[in-house]
Amino acid sequence: MKASPATTASAAATAAGHTRLHGSLLAGPEKRALVWMANRMPAWVNSDHLSALGLVSMAGVGASFWLAGARPAAGVPLVVVCLVLNWFGDSMDGTLARVRNRQRPRYGFYVDHVIDIAGTAMMLAGLAASGHMGPLVAAVTLAAWLIVMGESFLATWARGLFRMSFLWFGPTELRILIAIGALMLLGGGLVRPFGLGPYRLFDVGGVCATAGLVVVFVVNAVRNTVALYREETRADSN
């Protein structure tokens, strides 16, 4: 019987004072694979090396998308390679620290998400420069993502809960979706949704992503507001 997302979320309280909730579709097998690799990582590799790899590889994703604008056959494979490297660096840094019992929770949380913000901005800038996504769509998508991140950070502070996924969809699933979209650029990168268009694939993807992010923001904001209201109203009544 499949466990609920809450029980498979790999929720773990950290010394930073919050609980990580990760209930994405691939969270379980991904965690096992990361722990397996972390136990076999050379001793000279540390979490900072992996965090740096995550940042550099996201810069590579942006640069590769830009290259794909003029030379798809060269740029698209590089996008996929850089996304794999980003997954490895971004996902492995915290796992390695936990396996080796060398955790720096506040430092790790802060650096990891600064890198996420910078990396997402670089990726969308590369897409906008490539001509495969309009600059306005890229800017609106980035703004929507930052709003969701801001709400998530507020919830982490106010409720001690940091949600890493929504409806079984998390960072790894997002990377896979972006990689599939990049590969579709080899076929021209134009789509006709519902018989309309043609439109640029990543314009359609950006609009859909923005709509989804707005839904995530509203749902989480309402959920956290109601939870905080009930918790503190109950505390006042006692």
Give dist(CA 184, CA 139) in Å, integer. Answer: 22
Q: pLDDT for 152-181, tens place per residue?
A: 999 999 988 887 777 777 888 999 999 999
Q: pLDDT for 96-138, tens place per residue?
A: 999 999 989 889 999 999 999 999 999 999 999 999 999 999 9
Give dist(CA 117, CA 111) in Å, integer. Answer: 10
Comparison of pLDDT for 36 and 171, the residue scoring more: 36
Query: What single letter denotes the amino acid at residue 59?
Result: A
User: Nearest-5° angle of CA 33, CA 37, CA 38?
Assistant: 115
Helix (H) or strand (E) holding 191: strand 190-191
Give dist(CA 233, CA 120) in Å, integer. Answer: 38
Helix (H) or strand (E) holding 13: strand 12-13
Give dist(CA 86, CA 80) in Å, integer. Answer: 10
pTM for the model stands at: 0.85
Q: Give percent helix, percent strand, percent coil of the chain, each to the nearest 5.
A: 70, 5, 20
